[in-house]
Structure formats: C-alpha cells, structure tokens
Structure 1
C-alpha cells in the first residue's frame, strides 16, 4: 500500500483532500520496531508523532515502584503521541511495541509547518482529538470510581463494539496486560471473570475467546447499577 493510501484510512486524517494526504505522505518517515522495543519514553522530547501501520503498541505509565499502568492499546491506523506534539511538550508516557510493528513518523517541525500552510488540516483533526479526550476521561472515571467488575464489563462492551457489536469476543491482551489496563492485578481479574461466569453473564471459551450471555446485566455493571455477588 502506498504511503498516501495508508494515510487516507487514519481516523485522525479523516476528511482530508487527496493533496493534503499527499503532503502528509511527503513528510512521513516509515519506522519499524521489534516486539518489546521502546518507541518513546516518558519525559523524552516530543520530536514528532506516530501512526501505527501494523502491529500493536501500548502506551503506559510506570509508578515509582515500577508498576505498569496501561493507558491505551494502539491498533493499526491509530495515531499516538500527537497531543504532546501540538502542545510542544515532552511525552507524558512510555510507548512500547507489543509485537513487531510498523509506524509512520511525522516530525513535529515539518508537520506544524504544513499546518500553517493548510489550517484546515488542524480543523479536521480536532474531532478525532476530542474523541481521544473523551475516551481518556472515561478511563480516569473508570479507574477512580468503578470497581473492577464494572471496569471489566465496560471493557468487554467496548470490545464488542469494536469487533462489530458481536457477542463472541477475542480478548486481544494477555491476562497480565488486561489487568494492567483495568488497574488491577491478574489474580483479582481471574476471580472477577470466574464470578461473571458463575452468574451467567459470560462464557469463557477456548483460548482468549469470551461469549457475552447477558449484555443487559453487563451494561448495568458498567454503569454501576448492578454489582456482582460477594466473594470477589
């Protein structure tokens, strides 16, 4: 796929004219990363931002004790690191490749010069940046206000929506990674999953496949209208 074609499918650049996509392609630099390789570190100068072409990337924070909190899992066509570039700040978190990954890198100075010549570029990107802010606000709310069952229920419903509103889901993270994303530990996550199975909300199938059996109850868990029984 040509670089311009890769850019046209990126939500951050949705609605741009062909010549604008070509201008972005002209400044983009292809980069590849091995599984586990660091892409940028918290506190590093935000010299540009990235679009994931293939693979997966985790954006995360580390506590002083070294505990990892995953903030986002970046999927193909998603941009990451762009907020720091616009603000002229350093990266506020770490980013590592979760598997062999290819990215497009947009150098900050070249990108901002392009925006100055084409202000509509920035206007087109505002909607996607607003959606990112909304998702991040939901994450903060989930971690601070919801108990683990509510966080897990919300995540399962999010996966269902992302995978075509299906009831049969593929968990795309390991148990350790999912626990980190939900702000808990693997042992607690296992107990919550087992409790959801016993209460007939989900069915855990072979591998990382989960079937949603009671979507209404999961939605009530996610919104705090319902709680799982005792014993978690």
Structure 2
C-alpha cells in the first residue's frame, strides 16, 4: 500500500485527520485504504472480523436483523466514525450488521493495531471514550423513541429535530430514524401533508407549520 494514499485519505476529512494526528507511525504505515460501491461493504451481525474500519468518506447503516427478518436501524454513520472498534477492544463478534448506503472510502486497521493504538496514544484513547459515550447516549435516546412513541410521534420528532438543526429531510433519512414500515411512513407523511404541517416535493420534505406539528406530537396517544 502506498503510504501517500493513506495520508491522502487521512487528510481528506478534518474529523479523520484529528483522530489520526497522534497515531503511532508504525500503525499508520500498516493502514490500508479501501473503496466500495454502494451496498458492497457488508459486515454481518454475529460474525467476527480481523479489522477495524475508520470511515473516511460516505455513509453506512448500522442495523439489527431479527430471526423473523425484521430490520431495526440503530444509526447511520458518516466520515470520522469507527466501525467495529468495540468488538476489536473486547474481541467479540459484531453485535450489529453494517452496510454502506453510498460509495465509501475506509481505512482498514488490523484489530491488534487498533488496540495497540488505543493503549499507546492517550489523546486518542480519551477521544475514543468520548465517542463511545456519545454513541451509547444516542442509542439510548433512539431506543426510547422506538419503544415509547408511535410511528407518527417518531416521525414528527425526527422532522422537528431536523428543522432545529437545519438538516435536509428526505424519505430515505426517515426510514433510518423510525421503527416502522415504509408503507406506514408514507401513510403518516400523507396525513401530515393533508393537515398542512409539511410539504412533500418528490423526495424532499419541508415543515410548513412547526407549532402545529409539535402540538400533534405532544397530544398523540
């Protein structure tokens, strides 16, 4: 592997660069840059892998599959996120499945190298703890939303959160954030559109009445 390609990948994203800037040189030299087209990067729940991956470009979906075939999305990661870091540290099979939902570039790091990196680079270890804590917090809030809110409330809360953070809203994003079927998502969106609280323009969704949408979410049984 050309070390220049590794450094080009590292420097292509600020979050990645900050994570790697104090990594031991011998570990950087053993990293590998890999590229995958959409849905060609798949890591399976229950399987054990020999590498940890740092996402440099693109997006991946983290999800659970039940024996009945139901899929529950846990999160969507973009650049600067590790894949498999928890499993590398505790030497366990993957607790969830991962698939890329766009073309991606990753840095592949041998598990042994990743563990050594976390032990030798104290600045990185602190950042890793912070990242893992944020993931646990985010997952807890998501599970609360899944278990305690109706489909309409889940969708409404997600729409309001996107509006607060000025995040573009698409049907695709909604499917990754709520625990319900695509058909039910369309039914809820149509209901909200009929109430004139959202406007649907092909795949893009805009909130037209945040106050009413918030009231609907709060009063939904």
1:210 pairs with 2:205: yes
Distance 2:186 2:158 in 1: 15
Give the conservation status (yes or no) of the 8 Å contact 2:197–2:208.
yes
Point out the structure with the larger helix share: 2
Give the conservation status (yes or no) of the 8 Å contact 1:48–1:105.
yes
Which residue is equivalent to 2:58? 55
Deviation per CA, 1:18-72, whole angstroms, max 9, x where unpaired? 3438666434221222322242111111423222222321111111122222222
Which residue is equivalent to 2:131? 128
1:148 to 140, 151, 164: 151
- Provide the secondary structure at the position in 2 that maps to 1:173: helix
Distance 2:98 2:162 in 1: 21
Give 1:183 deviation, angstroms.
1.4
Tell me the TM-score normalized by structure 2.
Answer: 0.83
Give 1:159 deviation, angstroms.
3.2
- Provide the secondary structure at the position in 1 that maps to 2:23: helix
Give the conservation status (yes or no) of the 8 Å contact 1:29–1:104.
yes
* CA spacing shift, 1:23–1:3, aligned 2, 3 Å: farther
Give 1:105 deviation, angstroms.
1.7
Distance 1:18 1:180 in 2: 32
1:90 pairs with 2:89: no
Number of residue pairs matched?
A: 215
Tell me the TM-score normalized by structure 1.
Answer: 0.79
Deviation per CA, 1:80-124, whole angstroms, max 9, x where unpaired? 322222222210111112232221122210111122222232112
Which residue is equivalent to 1:173? 172
Deviation per CA, 1:160-216, whole angstroms, max 9, x where unpaired? 45xx526xx341617xxx4464111122111110111122221111x2111112223
* CA spacing shift, 1:219–1:130, aligned 2, 3 Å: farther
Give 1:7 deviation, angstroms.
6.1
Which residue is equivalent to 1:200? 196
Give the conservation status (yes or no) of the 8 Å contact 2:60–2:76.
yes
Report which stretch shifted further, 140-149 or 16-25.
Answer: 16-25
- Provide the secondary structure at the position in 2 that maps to 1:37: coil
Unaligned runs of 5+ in 1: none
Unaligned runs of 5+ in 2: 1-6
Give the root-mean-square deviation of aligned CA atoms.
2.7
* CA spacing shift, 1:8–1:112, aligned 2, 3 Å: farther
